[in-house]
Structure formats: structure tokens, C-alpha cells
Amino acid sequence: MSRNLDPLRQAYDMDEFAKRAHHLIAQLAPNVQKSLNRDTDEVLAWQTANAFWQKGIQALVDDPVQLLQQIEDQSIRLHHPRYMGHQIAPVLPLTALAGLMSQLLNNGMGVYEMGMAGTIMEREVLEEVAAAIGYSEGYSGIMTSGGTLANLTALLAARQVQSEHDIWEDGYLPGERLAIMVSEEAHYSVQRAIKIMGWGERGIVKIPVDEAYRLRADLLAPALDHARQQGLRVIGVVGSACSTATGSFDPLDAIGAFCEAENLWFHVDAAHGGPAIFAPENRSLLRGIEKADSVLMDFHKMALCPALCTALLFKDAKDSYQTFSQKAAYLWEDPSDQEWYNLGKRTFECTKHMMSLAPFLLHRTYGFELVGTYVDQMFALGHTFGERLASADDFELLVKPACNIVCFRYCSSSASNQNELNRAIRARLRDEGRFYIVQTELKGKVYLRTALMNPFTEISDLEALMEEIRRIANSLLG
Ligand SMILES: *Cc1c(COP(=O)(O)O)cnc(C)c1O
């Protein structure tokens, strides 16, 4: 059989690859530019899942680039300045090239031999983060697939370190009841991690929040006493920086001091707000973060990288090896040795993509100062939007925003049910597709919620959003 008739080998034709890549970039770049420039007013072309499934994705099978183009058409546009929904980064274009290369080379990251460059880049990125946090020598860390998995990974280490026996080997002893204290506003992934560890609902000791939705550090001591009276062994406290729904930063300094005094593990979930360590004007929101035994931050939220890309750091390098103490002799030279460079020993993932490439490229090209500038700019926009909402009679602001997450609701005396009105407004905004925002429910009230993620969003876009909401409310109320 002639070589160029072998379909498998032909599918590896690199000239074809280069042609398609050029073609794709030539279409994609101007489209993303169009979004950034507001040359289109469509943030998303909404259709229900069932309708979309019925229709399917129509495309010419003989042209994969056209297929990709169609998929782009039917995707939500995070680069549009009127995208203000979930807290995912409008990707810095350079870091998308990292994605392309990492996917083509497919260097796994479980063992050093398979991912040499990735391992070194990962260590360099983590060193930058650790230095910004204020960790001294002796820290260690890993990168993993998302804040959710990083929370589980950190809490598994906390469990092993805090336990008086080898939980990883022996499992729980009869009657052993462990628990963690966490704000009632923490991300659901913390509760999920606790339940995965098998502690059930009673393993979650919820600490009430203050009027700004921050964990009340003054209630930690009484909550600890109460939990102990109930026979629970509390092993640590989770601080949120910030909480997802309201963007509130827990008082890390006070929680850290409490954990130090009580010899508890202090974990900081800084999935969203962590990059503020690079932001001169907002770094103080994270005061006390250096006290944390473990800290996570997502690069795919406020650090402009493609998902998933999460850093998890441990103040004490030893702890980083406690998460999974299991042996896999075929992978590692010496399973009892702490080989920092065989990262799969410490991650949930076995095969892991070259996750460090995007933040590494960002750091080496622009410096993480660019991330700091971005954070300061977006948080400032959040503050300004908060002021606009507070001074409008027909809007109610939940709390003065601490960052770029802003919760508010439209109020009308002619609406019989404000919750229903705000739900309907949100749904209409999505259906019309010129803005994308989300909603949340707090203390029984429905709020509209924006995470201002796009550096091209201006206060005029937010004023336009307010006008759009008024228009929709008028039409809904007849
Ligand atoms: C987004 C978020 C998470 C989950 O992170 P993923 O990367 O989406 O898994 C966890 N905690 C907080 C506070 C978050 O904002």
C-alpha cells in the first residue's frame, strides 16, 4: 500500500496541520478582536440544551476548520466587554498558544522523565507565587486541575498531618469523628471535599458571617468548644479569599492567629482572590495569608490563563507529601524519598497536562505585575459599579463590593415579588444575549451577580447594563 493512502499516517501530515492552524488563527483572531471592540453586540446566542441537541452541530465534515468556526459561533464570548458572568478569565491570547503547544506535545506530568520542562516551569511559577505570599524557604507546592481538586488535596494533607495515627494506611478508627470549621459562605467544593473524606454533614462546622459576608473570627472559639463537647475533633479552619457568591474576603490574619494558638490547620481557598498578592492596591485584602498551612489560587480566574490551572502551596514542604502516601513502585525511583520533581506523588492526577506553561509564559513575557495591574483595575471597576448602584433609587446593592464581584437587585414597587422579578430579568438578559450576568440567592433573596472579568469592560458598559435592566423590568411589569 502506498504511504500516502494510509489514512492513519496521513492524518499526521504536518503540512496540513500548519495550513489548518494558520487558517484557524486567521479566522479566530479577528473574531475575538470583534468581541473586544464590541463590533458585535452578541455575547451569547442562547438556546436551550434540548433545542440545541435536537438541532445538533451542523458542519461540513471535510473541513475541520469550518467545524471549529461553527463551534466558536455557538460559544459564549468571554472576550466581550459585556460578558460579566461566572468568574473565568478572558484568556490572554499568548497563554492560548501555550495550550496549543502543550496539547500537541502532550508531555505528561506524573513523572519527571515525561515532563521535564513542565516540572521546572511548575517549580518556577510556584516560587513566584510563594514569594508573593510571603512564604519563606521550606515551602512546597504543586499545580492541579482546578480549585475544587486543590481543596480536596489540601484537606487530605491536613487530615493526615493532624491525625494521631496513619489515616491513609489504617482508615478511620471506630468512633473517630473529624470536622473542619468553615464559613457558611464557603465554596461548595469545601463541603464536597469533606463529604468525599466521609465525615458527612456533621464534619462541617459552619461559622456565621458578618454583615459583609465575612467569616466571624470571634465565633471560632465558641464554635470549637461546642464541637468538642459534641465529640468532634476539629482539625482545621478554611478561610475564603474571597467567597464566591459575594466576593467577601475572610479575615485571614485573625483566623491564622486562632489556628496557631489552637494548633489547627489553616487552609486558605484563594481560588478567585489569590492573584491579589500581585496587586499593589489590593494585596492588603490577603493580610495574614502567609500564616496559612496551605493556599490555593486559580490561574484561570483572576490570572488570565486558560482553564484548568491551579496552584496549591504548602508552607511546610513535608506536608505536601502527606496527601497521598501510597506507593507506586513502577513510577518512582524511591517511593520513600521526597522526590520533589516526581509531581505525581503529590497530585490527584496521574497524567497531567503541562499546566505550568501558560502562567510561565505569562510571567516570563509580561511578569506577574500584569496580573496585579489587572486585579487592581477590575477591583476598582467593581467599587465604581457599587457606587453607581448604591446611588440609584431603583437598585439595591447587597454589600459594598470588596472586589470585582458585585451583587445587587432591581426593586420596583409595582412588582408583587422582587425575587421573581429579578429571576425573570436575569433570564431575559441571557435570552437576549447582549449581556451575560448570573444570579445568586442570599438569605432568601435573589440577587443579580456580576464578576467583572474583562479588562475592556468600562463603567459605561455597566451603566448600559443598568439601563437594560430597567427596560426589561418595565416590559415585564407591563
Ligand atoms: C471557583 C472557586 C472554586 C472552584 O474552583 P474550580 O477551579 O472551578 O474547581 C473553589 N473555591 C472558590 C472560593 C472559588 O471561587
Ligand 1 contacts CB of residue 344 (under 6 A): no
Which residue, among 88, 18, 24, 47, has the nearest Cα to 431 in the 3D structure?
A: 47
The better pLDDT of the pair 419, 166 is held by 419
Mutate to test the pocket of ligand 1, among 86, 143, 148 (most ligand atoms within 8 A of CB): 148
Answer for the pair 46, 429: CB distance below 8 angstroms, yes or no.
no
- Determine the atom of ligand 1 nearest the C-alpha atom of 244: 15
> How many Å lie between the centroid of ligand 1 and the Cα of residue 147?
5
Mutate to test the pocket of ligand 1, among 144, 249, 269, 295 (most ligand atoms within 8 A of CB): 269
- Determine the atom of ligand 1 nearest the C-alpha atom of 272: 15
In one-letter notation, the amino acid at residue 366 is Y
Percentage of the chain lying above the pLDDT 90 cut = 84
The whole-number average pLDDT for the span 30-40 is: 97
pLDDT class of 434 with cuts at 50, 70, 90 = very high
Answer for the pair 333, 339: CB distance below 8 angstroms, yes or no.
yes
Say whether pLDDT at 61 is over 70: no
Ligand 1 contacts CB of residue 248 (under 6 A): no
> How many Å lie between the centroid of ligand 1 and the Cα of residue 450?
16
Ligand 1 contacts CB of residue 240 (under 6 A): yes
The whole-number average pLDDT for the span 165-175 is: 91
> How many Å lie between the centroid of ligand 1 and the Cα of residue 376?
20
Answer for the pair 372, 279: CB distance below 8 angstroms, yes or no.
yes
Q: Hey, whose CA ends up nearest to atom 5 of ligand 1?
A: 147
Say whether pLDDT at 151 is over 70: yes
Say whether pLDDT at 98 is over 60: yes
Report the pLDDT value the prediction gives residue 110, as an integer from 0 to 100.
82
Ligand 1 contacts CB of residue 191 (under 6 A): no
> How many Å lie between the centroid of ligand 1 and the Cα of residue 148?
6
Answer for the pair 459, 385: CB distance below 8 angstroms, yes or no.
yes
Report the range of poorest mean pLDDT among 89-103, 118-132, 334-348, 436-450.
Answer: 334-348
Report the pLDDT value the prediction gives residue 322, as an integer from 0 to 100.
85
Ligand 1 contacts CB of residue 426 (under 6 A): no
Ligand 1 contacts CB of residue 291 (under 6 A): no
Ligand 1 contacts CB of residue 244 (under 6 A): yes
> How many Å lie between the centroid of ligand 1 and the Cα of residue 436?
19
- Determine the atom of ligand 1 nearest the C-alpha atom of 310: 7
Ligand 1 contacts CB of residue 405 (under 6 A): no
The whole-number average pLDDT for the span 183-208 is: 95
pLDDT class of 5 with cuts at 50, 70, 90 = confident
Q: What angle do CA 408, 410, 412 make, to 5 degrees?
A: 150
Report the pLDDT value the prediction gives residue 249, as an integer from 0 to 100.
98
Q: pLDDT (tens digit, 9 = 90+) per residue, 316-341? A: 988 888 888 755 555 656 656 678 88
Ligand 1 contacts CB of residue 108 (under 6 A): no
Report the range of poorest mean pLDDT among 229-238, 328-337, 418-427.
Answer: 328-337
Given the DSSP bridges, would you call strands 233-240 and 204-207 parallel, antiparallel or unpaired? Answer: unpaired
Say whether pLDDT at 9 is over 70: yes
Ligand 1 contacts CB of residue 86 (under 6 A): no
Q: pLDDT (tens digit, 9 = 90+) per residue, 365-400? A: 999 999 999 999 999 999 999 999 999 999 999 999
CB within 8 A of 213, min separation 6: which ones? Answer: 185, 243, 245, 246, 248, 399, 442
> How many Å lie between the centroid of ligand 1 and the Cα of residue 411?
30
> How many Å lie between the centroid of ligand 1 and the Cα of residue 112?
28
Q: Hey, whose CA ends up nearest to atom 2 of ligand 1?
A: 271
Phi, psi of 267 (to 5 degrees): -110, 135
Which residue, among 121, 67, 435, 114, has the nearest Cα to 309 in the 3D structure?
A: 121
- Separation of alpha carbons 286 and 301, rounded Å: 17
- Determine the atom of ligand 1 nearest the C-alpha atom of 149: 9
Mutate to test the pocket of ligand 1, among 189, 404, 449 (most ligand atoms within 8 A of CB): 189
